[in-house]
Structure 1
Amino acid sequence: MDIQDKMLLSMIQGFSLSYFLYTSCELGIFETLLNEDQTLSELSERLYIRKDILLRLMNTLEAFGFVKIHDEKYSLQQLGKRLSEKNGKVMRELLLFSGRQCMPYWAKLYEAVHSGEAPYKLIEKQAYFDMQETNYQNYRTFNSMMSSNSEDLDLQPYFETEITPFRIKKIVDIGGGTGNILIKLLKFYKNSFGILLDLQFVETEAIRNLQNYNMENRVKFYSGNFFEPIDFSADIFVMSRILHDWSDEEAIQILKNVAQAMTENSRILIIEKIMPETPKRENTEMYMADLNMWVMCGGKERTLEEFKNLLHLSDLKVTRIIKLAGNESVLEVKKYIINYQEGMI
């Protein structure tokens, strides 16, 4: 087998490895081994799995370097630790989200391409985000993944560009979930007060999270829908990973609602991936992310020109772009103000 066949084989079998790792995580193998080495018999008893089946799982985990066996006891290796809640929350939550929600939808990709419907619509009777409200388990999985990603997001490159942070008095986070991005901003903008705008069912988790960070006195949660007019003005409006969930038409509607709430001095911080203009091998992660947005909720990742077009149609413009880690950027956006000169019609 030559190198290209090996590459193809790895890609072809990628789905089975994803399912295998998800199953191992869901079974609790990584968590069980985190604090104490275990024999096969001990693991079998704790996890309620037949020894002959468990042995096949453990052999595979050992072959990939997630665990190591010594003196008949399995120990968790660094790669395995990165899938435990304590040492690798971001990757663990992403893996559980992928297994519980993404994988069933991806299995419908062939049918979806022919039907023209986003894959999730071939399984669910509700829109994706409506389903989060009615299915608490789905919401917890989605929220855990998003919260851990937000905690991991480094906004320092953006903060380094700010020269007068003391002037920011009010920040509104549009669709901010449980508030992790808003918390980062409030820690930097020390004279500011925050409004967290999201759907009603998010409030309990949001307040709990704000209390954990001692931010309950600096943030007010408001129940609202960004497809409706926004009643708050602000120095900064935040939209973190919002627009990629929606079609162009829906994204424009959201942006217009925010634009109407802005003053001449307001700005929006749009935190999103920016797609490259041409496909290259080093950008495969971006193109898979774009497909995943369509599979999961009918959304899309966008190029800079596509963002500029959405903003132009919403009477907004990009004033700065600050690159973050992990293919994400902050697009600083302001209202497009037309200054009419005297005598102009």
Structure 2
Amino acid sequence: MSTDEPTSSPAVAELPPEFATLMRLADLVTPMALRVAANLRLVDHINDGAHDLESLAKVTDSHRDTLARLVRHLVAVEVLAESAPNHFEPTALGELLAHDHPATQVGWLDPTHMIGRADLALIHLFEAVHDGGAVYKTRYGTEFWDDVSNDPTLGATFYDLMAHGQQRIFNEAVELHEWSEVRHILDVGGADGDLIATVLAKRPEINATLLELPGPAARARAKFEKAELADKITVVDGSFFDPLPTTADLITLSFVLHNWSDEDAVRILRNCTDALEPDGSLLLIECAEQSPAKPDPGFTSGDIRMMAYFGGRERTHDQWQELADAAGMRIVSVSDALAYGARVLTLVKS
């Protein structure tokens, strides 16, 4: 018997169709390439006339060869287009990396901006899941809110980005609510005052108080002075973990509680309960997923961010009801979804 007969090779497993999807979901190269592009202001420089690699390397103070490899990938993923040899233009997708674009996404990507910076803490998601806590401090040595409050540049980029997305939500929320019986609003943790300003634009006879930390409180005062609203709004420096500075027939909490653990959120809600006047109500503006069979990836992504940044969480309607019960309140209405999936939940004392 011949020993020279060919032997069969083991079969090579054919890649399943899901392989490409998994690799796309697992890719870290493209997200980081976008962050570098945002930080280098590549699209801004191209729009200003630096279309070739030599010009881009000079204006960004980058190594030409490594920049060329970055640009090549951005072309491959259709963020940039090479319209002629060594001549680059942003695509419609790439234009979102321009600082002056009305829907700019730079604040979410550039690590010199607060959220772009915070997202890099997700490299420690292993620890967050294992240990059950926030990991922003693991990355940077300080707490998220300390950086927002103590660093004027990071604080400004944070509140500007939040305002960019939340103003549409506030417009919709204000249109939904009946304001005729409201005399005094207390906006708890109201950043630099966009919600109160939106309310007073519709109902200028209402008086208002804004409670915030010193940094955003100062920004709010400046905005109210500029808008000639300072005589209608009292801005108080303080913490919502302390007893609130005044009572009100309407208290607003917009995108505050998702920043905090359940225990801390109940503390804040109890302070609001104590500050509500008889027959008063609390307007809570937050995402409130209705526990669908298939979770929304935007909701779950936001939830991971809240966990990693500061140990907070996005909550379903049922979870909001549990917090309300613990704070001596009950939910009496929930709006339809507004922009970005936000809802207005109206709470009253139990």
TM-score by structure 2 length? 0.86
Select the residue among 210, 221, 224 that pairs with 1:210: 224
Q: Structure 1 residue 314 and structure 2 residue 327: aligned? A: yes
For residue 101 of structure 1, what is the aligned residue in structure 2? Answer: 118
Corresponding residue SS for 2:133:
coil
Amino acid at match of 1:209: K
* Deviates most, 116-125 or 318-327: 116-125
Deviations 1:119-150 (A, max 9, x none): 23434544432343334443233223222222
- Secondary structure class of the residue paired with 2:345: strand
1:93, CA displacement in angstroms?
1.4
SS of 1:86 mapped into structure 2: coil
Residue 170 (structure 1) aligned with residue 184 (structure 2): yes
Q: Secondary structure at the match of 1:107?
A: helix
Identify if the C-alpha distance between structure 1 residues 251 and 162 changes in structure 2 by more than 3 Å, giving closer, same or farther. closer
Q: 1:213 to 1:84 in 2, by over 3 A?
A: farther
Match of 2:90 in 1: 76
Distance 1:124 1:33 in 2: 32
Is 1:86 the counterpart of 2:103? The answer is no
Deviation at 1:2, TM superposition (A): 4.2
Distance, in Å, in 1 between the alignment partners of 2:48 and 2:224 is 30
Q: Which moved more, 1:135-144 or 1:260-269?
A: 135-144
AA at the equivalent of 1:147: A
Aligned ranges for residues 222-233 of structure 1 at < 5 Å? 222-233=236-247
Partner of 2:171: 155
Work out whether residues 244 and 301 of structure 1, in 8 Å CA contact, stay in contact via their aligned partners in 2.
Answer: yes
Aligned mates of 1:66, 1:242 — CA distance in 2:
34
**Contact 1:195 / 1:220 at 8 angstroms: preserved in 2?**
yes
Letter in 2 for 1:206: A
Match of 1:113 in 2: 129
Distance in 2, Cα, partners of 1:93 & 1:235: 36
> 1:26–1:88: structure 2 CA closer, same or farther, 3 Å change rule?
farther
Distance in 2 separating the partners of 1:98 and 1:161: 30
SS of residue paired to 2:93: helix
Determine the C-alpha separation between the residues in 2 that align with 1:90 and 1:259: 38
**Are 2:272 and 1:255 aligned?**
no
Show the counterpart of 1:21: 34
**Higher mean C-alpha displacement, 61-70 vs 316-325:** 61-70
Shift of 1:211: 4.2
Q: Matched residues in 1 for 2:16 and 2:191: separation?
A: 48
Question: Bigger CA drift: 58-67 or 292-301?
Answer: 58-67
**Contact 2:170 2:198 survives alignment (8 Å):** no
1:142 to 151, 158, 174: 158
Cα distance, 1:162–1:122 mapped onto 2, change above 3 Å: closer
Q: CA deviation at 1:286?
A: 1.3
Deviation of the 1:51 alpha carbon: 2.2
Distance in 2 separating the partners of 1:67 and 1:211: 42
Q: Which has the larger radius of gyration?
A: 2
Match of 1:57 among 56, 70, 76: 70
Q: Which residue of 1 aligns with 2:10?
A: none
SS at match of 1:167: coil
Structure 2: unaligned runs, 5 residues or longer:
1-14
TM-score by length of 1: 0.87
SS in 2 for 1:172: strand
SS in 1 for 2:312: coil
Contact 1:30 1:81 in 2 (8 A): yes
Distance between the aligned counterparts of 1:276 and 1:17, measured in 2? 32
Deviation at 1:325, TM superposition (A): 2.1
* Contact 1:177/1:198, CA 8 A, preserved across alignment: yes
Distance 1:154 1:91 in 2: 20
**Which one of 311, 326, 341 corresponds to residue 298 of structure 1?**
311
- Structure 1 distance, partners of 2:278, 2:218, is 34
Distance across 1 between alignment mates of 2:53 and 2:104: 28
Write the letter of the residue equivalent to 2:169.
L
Q: 1:221 to 1:34 in 2, by over 3 A?
A: farther
Structure 1 residues 57 and 3: CA distance shift in structure 2, 3 A: same
Residues 55/213 of structure 1: CA separation in 2 closer, same or farther (3 Å cut): farther
Give aligned-pair identity as a percent: 23
Deviation for aligned residue 1:193:
2.5
Q: Secondary structure at the match of 2:296?
A: helix
State how far apart, in whole Å, the 2-side matches of 1:121 and 1:37 are.
38
